[in-house]
Each structure stands twice: as structure tokens, then as C-alpha cells.
Structure 1
């Protein structure tokens, strides 16, 4: 996950705009910490399944070889980097053209795509005569999910740091680090029993969880 203050600065969209220039200003008011950390927990579960568990799912459900999994990991890493580095410039361009862009609307859109990407392999398997014929869906799902995840986390982390400083910020960051680590571990533990029988179904479940997490964006403002 990215640091709260990255090279593009803190995303300041509480005023429904992206800052025109990189800035390190904090938000005037802090989003409710319980909502931010709850979103972190839910989103981290999906991230854990895709970034760590996808290789087991690809092997068990689609018969991926070690070489194919290595290539899948390369795609995952490159798309995540592209999303993390590209989110700032893209949002600034979009915000310059429309005052309707907000951090919340962007996160809703990203969550919807991430959830849809996680559900895609299950749908592809249902439509294919043979699961091996749906292997393409894993590549598409990983590329879409990882790209959006790279863009997702810097915005979430701006909610975490915005409006907080000193001891409040240190406490929030400490909680954040514990919560996402526990969520990733929990997601891997939860998918273990179902992996052998329902490998692609595991992704679908966490896809729905990802979409459901958007409800937490409303109290965040």
C-alpha cells in the first residue's frame, strides 16, 4: 500500500475538487475514523485475495503453471504501479473539466470496477464449456482489479490522514497498519477451506464484499 503522502501529494477532494497542484495540506475536517478503518478492513480483504490468493486460485481453478503464475504476478505488479502513479494526474484532468468529481464518487467507481473484476472469473466459468476456456478472465480480472486498487488506496489514505496531525495521526496510521494486515491474513485464512472446491467462487464472494463496502463512503463525506 502507498504511503499517505505520496509523490502526487494528498488528495483534497472534500471540496469536490482535486487540487490543481501537488499539495500537502490536510483536510479541514477529519472523516470519521471508524468509517475509514472499516473501509480499510473490507477493501484489504479483497486486496489480500487478489494480490496473494489469486495464484492459488489460478492454479487450482484454471490449471495455471508456475510460468503462467509468474507472468500473472508481473501483470499484477505493473498495473498496480500504473494505477498508483496515474491516479493523481488523471483526477486533476477530470476535475478540471467537471466540478462534479469528488473523492467519494471516484472511490465508488473504483470499488464497482474492482468488485466486477473479482466476479468476472465466476461468470466466465459459467458461460464456458470448460473452465480452462475461461482462463482469460483471470488475466482481465487481475489487470482491472490491480489497476483500480493502485488508484484506490492513495485516496483512502488521504481520508485517513486528512484533518489529523500529531498524536491523532500517529494513532490512526498505527491502527491502519494493524487493520489491513489482519484483514489480509483473515482473507487468506477464510478462503483456504473453499479454495479446492470453489476456487473462482472465492473471488466472487470478495467481489460482492468490495462493492458492499461502498456504503461506508457516505459517512466519510
Structure 2
């Protein structure tokens, strides 16, 4: 296994180059929950006004791993799965958010041990796993409506004890009876239903 220390150091430095230094507990979470465990074998590196770059873990594992730990979003699905990533062209419909964006989100949400968190839009599962690290595994529920994404993220979050990732209404790994005190929304829907937000 590659030593992740230098890759994590570089990722943290790049995050802090584009924003203020992050809280130590957020940095610890980013170091404790490896991003590469939540990125599919094939993804697109996007951003910085350059064409998308296809990274393939099987074809070039070092390149794939190096890009997973850069400060950029990684597109993991095009056109709700209708277009292959290898086509390099289509509407981005799922991604692993840029680490600085995730750090900002975690600091704004400010999850503490014991907080109950509902994440709408599981995506790759990385943010759900980070939320579990910060709030505690039993306190996090993540909902995904796309069966192909849910299948991927559930396989990643369940072995690590990373909360519950579910596809309503009948995901085999889902829970019911949601109760939240913090809501994190990141999906294509314009507005979260009032019932999903704390009173």
C-alpha cells in the first residue's frame, strides 16, 4: 500500500492555499477517512479551465491516486449514467466534491459527536463517511435516489461503519424513521422539503 502521508500533506496544503486554515478536527477527519476508498476506478478530473482528464486506477494506479488527492472535484457520472465517462463529454451528474469544498461544508455544518445528520445526495459516500467520523456512525443517514450510485456508495460506507446510505424507499441497506438536528443538502433538487429540516 502506498504511504498516504505525503499525498494527504499535499492535499491539506492545497486546501489551505485556497482558504483559511481549517479546524484541527476537520483536518483529522480528512486524514482519517481516505478519499481514494470512495472514488470509483474511473473518474474525470475537472476544473481549472482545462479539458477533463480521465483517470483509470487499473490503467495507471499512480496517476489515479495522485489525482484523487489533489484539490479538485472528480466527476464520477455523466448524464445520470447514460454517457460513459470515457466519452469525456456530458453533463456532470455525480462527483466527489473538491476537498476544500468539503472542508468548508463540514466547518459550516459544524457536526459534533451526537448530532444527528441527514445527508441528501450520497454520491461517492466520502462526505457521509467524514460526517460519521465527526458526529458518530449511528447519527448519520445519507439518502441517494440513483440506484447505480447508491450501490457504489453503500458498498463503500457499510464496511467502514459509515452510517446508513439508502435509496428511498426500498434500499436493502437503508434505515427508516429519520430524525435530524442538522441537514446537509447537496443534490440537484432546488429546495429541501420543510419536513427534512430541523424545527
Bigger Rg over Cα: 1
Q: TM-score, normalised by structure 2?
A: 0.31
Task: Report which structure shows greater RCO (CA 8 Å, sep ≥6).
Answer: 1
- The structure richer in helix per residue is 1
Bigger strand share: 2
